[in-house]
């Protein structure tokens, strides 16, 4: 209270919310924030002009060096409990008897969703008190980095609590699912480092779901409707009941059975839950439970021609699988009343629902609809195009699952707003890992020929290049061989006709150091049809290395006289979209970056790279981190740039 009165509206509300959440893990974060804001207003009154002024941080005077160390130790804030373990915010299964959600009806009635003692005891007996979660993707596309966050939460919570996580395919739409997607999802989940407790399908429960639908009709809580999709939309907007809402229970039972037997045409009838058409929440407006589709199911075959909707099946299967924590993104928050309405109506066990912020990353799109357009209309080269933030695309680009999980852990699993995360933050985690794991080597992307005139014809020196910056000179396993001969190649961008103080490359009359080799000095320039068309550089090398030079260049030499260096293909990738948030644009396809991919067919590499295989990753000195691509053949290797080096790397040369 003293801090509140002293700091007034500058108090850290997030800290206050965190304190409340520790005591009330079941509390709705939004409601807690609103209540705290209300209490602060009661205590402090209206905001003053001073409250609206951002406080200026005072510059601290530098204490003596000895004192500085003491202050640093004394004021170093330890990581919070949630930073050390992000899963502490979730309650234990045995606590799942409290009210989850209040379901408000337009007539003033309120349902307070919670498990009875008997239902909870039955659930705990079935699970042994273990945490049970599920990762429920729909098999209608490839998984993207947003799914990596869902996996981190679903599988991660189960692992942290020594529980189990299902991989459940939400296959309620037989027209969208493909075996290709099912196989991909199972494989990518494993690649991400997670092991499912069981692999299940919503279609495994079709019989139980159908029986519960019959039970709903018998209770007068569902009815067969004949409105078209347009009529349903119109009636919902006008908050009007369907003409068939009051039809007799026996009539709906018979019609639903006719639907199941295929006696009613597709689109001529649906089964709708009798919820509350006058409710302010449109997700309580008699949602569709079943629709007719004369389409064989990839998993269930041709047994069914009625299929449950997501809104009907999702909560039911959560209950049937005894899920303790049903975790989903915030856009499902408004569906929570409908989720619990169905479980309360049928007297079923109710999982604990918790919504977290959706992962939005800059300069890309992550909706499956937009990703599908990019792929099917060939704006990109398939679901695993390295420019996409699909998990297959990231893997092909050279990103590891550990780097992705590290990124996810870093952004947290809170219910904060769906703010846009800059892609640079992901690249930071990728770079941090590759800096420790990717051996160094040299590749020249756009070769410019340099002839060392004072090195005798036919002579080749075998020099040692370091795979690791701190490698010992005596450790042969940490080095690779670099041939140095009369003909070497440097990057075209590392030569200029006019020198300047802030330029560390090669220029006429200027010397630079060749990495792991010798200083060279430009003595002559051979041009083509125009002075700017540089064909060849003549230079002399300093075998005694007497020069101390700032400029250090990477290079490639002919491995033997007249033998061309190893040729490789290198693909450079930039952001796929030019805008930070292309999803907000009406013409989002018009925002595609025309320079997002550059293919360099004839780059030169050191001979040791010839043995690289799929899965190998390297730092090409001064260029970035690269990975072997799936298009590689024994005749020619292909490398994808995973991520660039830090910007500060350009001037100082390789490190």
Catalytic amino acids?
A: 138, 358, 368
State phi, psi for 395 to the nearest 5 degrees: -65, -45
Q: Which two three-digit tokens encode residue 539?
A: 């230079």
* Residue 108, CA atoms < 13 Å, CB-side half-sphere: 0
Angle at which helix 206-218 crosses helix 336-346, to 10 degrees, equals 80
Residue 246 CA to residue 268 CA, distance in Å, equals 18
Neighbours of 17 (CB within 10 A): 18
Residue 223 CA to residue 445 CA, distance in Å, equals 68
Q: Which residues pair with 482 in a beta bridge?
A: 463
172: left (phi > 0), else alpha (psi -120 to 50), else beta? alpha
Residue 620 CA to residue 511 CA, distance in Å, equals 23
Q: Which two three-digit tokens encode residue 444?
A: 């020249």
Whether the Cβ atoms of residue 438 and residue 617 lie closer than 8 Å to each other = yes
Whether the Cβ atoms of residue 169 and residue 200 lie closer than 8 Å to each other = yes
Matching residue, tokens 């977290």:
356
Residue 288 CA to residue 172 CA, distance in Å, equals 13
Angle subtended at Cα 370 by Cα 365 and Cα 373, rounded to the nearest 5 degrees:
130
Whether the Cβ atoms of residue 468 and residue 478 lie closer than 8 Å to each other = yes
Whether the Cβ atoms of residue 6 and residue 55 lie closer than 8 Å to each other = no
Q: Where are the beta strands (DSSP E) in 48-116?
A: 101-104, 110-113
**CA dihedral defined by 273, 276, 281, 284, rounded to 10 degrees?**
-10
Residue 49 CB partners (closer than 8 Å, separation 6+):
none
Which 3 state secondary structure label does DSSP give 508?
coil
The 3-class secondary structure across 262-277, one letter per residue, is CCCCCCCCEEEECCCC
Residue 617 CA to residue 348 CA, distance in Å, equals 51
């Amino acid at each position: 209270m003293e801090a509140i009165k002293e700091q007034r509206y500058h108090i850290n509300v997030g800290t206050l919310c965190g304190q409340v959440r520790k005591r009330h893990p079941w509390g709705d974060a939004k409601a807690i924030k609103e209540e705290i804001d209300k209490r602060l207003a009661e205590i402090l009154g209206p905001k003053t002009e001073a409250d609206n002024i951002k406080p200026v941080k005072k510059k601290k005077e530098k204490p003596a060096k000895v004192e500085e160390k003491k202050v640093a130790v004394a004021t170093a804030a330890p990581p919070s409990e949630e930073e050390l373990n992000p899963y502490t915010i979730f309650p234990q299964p045995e606590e799942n008897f409290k009210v989850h959600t209040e379901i408000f009806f337009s007539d003033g009635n309120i349902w307070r969703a919670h498990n009875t003692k008997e239902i909870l005891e039955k659930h705990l007996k079935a699970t042994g008190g273990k945490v049970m979660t599920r990762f429920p993707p729909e098999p209608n596309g490839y998984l993207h980095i947003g799914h990596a966050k869902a996996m981190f939460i679903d599988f991660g919570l189960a692992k942290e609590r020594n529980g189990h996580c299902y991989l459940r395919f939400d296959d309620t739409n037989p027209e969208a699912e493909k075996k290709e997607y099912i196989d991909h999802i199972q494989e990518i989940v494993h690649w991400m480092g997670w092991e499912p407790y069981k692999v299940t399908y919503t279609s495994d429960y079709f019989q139980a779901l159908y029986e519960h639908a019959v039970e709903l009709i018998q209770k007068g809580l569902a009815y067969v409707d004949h409105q078209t999709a347009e009529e349903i939309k119109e009636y919902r907007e006008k908050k009007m009941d369907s003409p068939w809402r009051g039809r007799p229970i026996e009539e709906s039972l018979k019609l639903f059975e006719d639907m199941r037997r295929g006696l009613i045409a597709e689109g001529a009838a649906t089964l709708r839950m009798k919820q509350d058409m006058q409710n302010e929440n449109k997700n309580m407006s008699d949602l569709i439970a079943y629709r007719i589709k004369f389409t064989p199911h990839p998993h269930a075959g041709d047994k069914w021609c009625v299929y449950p909707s997501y809104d009907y099946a999702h909560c039911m299967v959560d209950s049937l699988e005894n899920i303790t924590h049903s975790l989903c993104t915030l856009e499902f928050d408004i569906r929570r009343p409908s989720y619990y309405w169905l479980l309360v109506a049928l007297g079923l066990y109710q999982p604990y629902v918790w919504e977290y912020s959706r992962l939005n990353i800059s300069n890309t799109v992550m909706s499956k609809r937009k990703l599908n357009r990019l792929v099917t209309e060939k704006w990109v080269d398939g679901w695993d195009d390295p420019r996409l933030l699909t998990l297959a695309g990231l893997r092909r680009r050279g990103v590891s699952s550990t780097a992705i999980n590290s990124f996810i852990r870093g952004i947290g699993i809170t219910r904060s707003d769906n703010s846009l995360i800059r892609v640079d933050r992901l690249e930071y985690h990728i770079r941090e890992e590759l800096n420790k794991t990717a051996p160094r080597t040299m590749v020249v992307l756009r070769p410019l020929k340099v002839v060392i005139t004072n090195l005798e014809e036919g002579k080749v020196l075998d020099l040692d290049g370091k795979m690791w910056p701190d490698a010992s000179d005596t450790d042969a396993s940490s080095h690779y061989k670099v041939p140095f001969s009369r003909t070497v190649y440097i990057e075209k961008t590392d030569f200029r006709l006019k020198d300047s103080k802030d330029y560390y490359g090669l220029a006429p009359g200027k010397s630079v150091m060749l990495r792991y080799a010798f200083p060279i000095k430009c003595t002559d320039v051979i041009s083509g049809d125009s002075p700017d068309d540089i064909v060849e550089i003549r230079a002399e090398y300093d075998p005694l290395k007497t020069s101390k030079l700032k400029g250090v260049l990477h290079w490639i030499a002919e491995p033997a006289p007249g033998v061309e260096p190893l040729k490789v293909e290198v693909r450079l990738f930039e952001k796929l979209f030019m805008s930070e948030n292309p999803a907000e644009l009406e013409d989002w396809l018009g925002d595609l970056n025309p320079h997002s991919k550059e293919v360099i067919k004839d780059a030169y590499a050191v001979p040791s790279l010839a043995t690289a295989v799929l899965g190998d990753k390297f730092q090409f000195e001064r260029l970035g981190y690269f990975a072997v691509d799936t298009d590689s053949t024994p005749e020619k290797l292909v490398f994808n740039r995973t991520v660039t080096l830090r910007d500060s790397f350009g001037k100082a040369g390789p490190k």
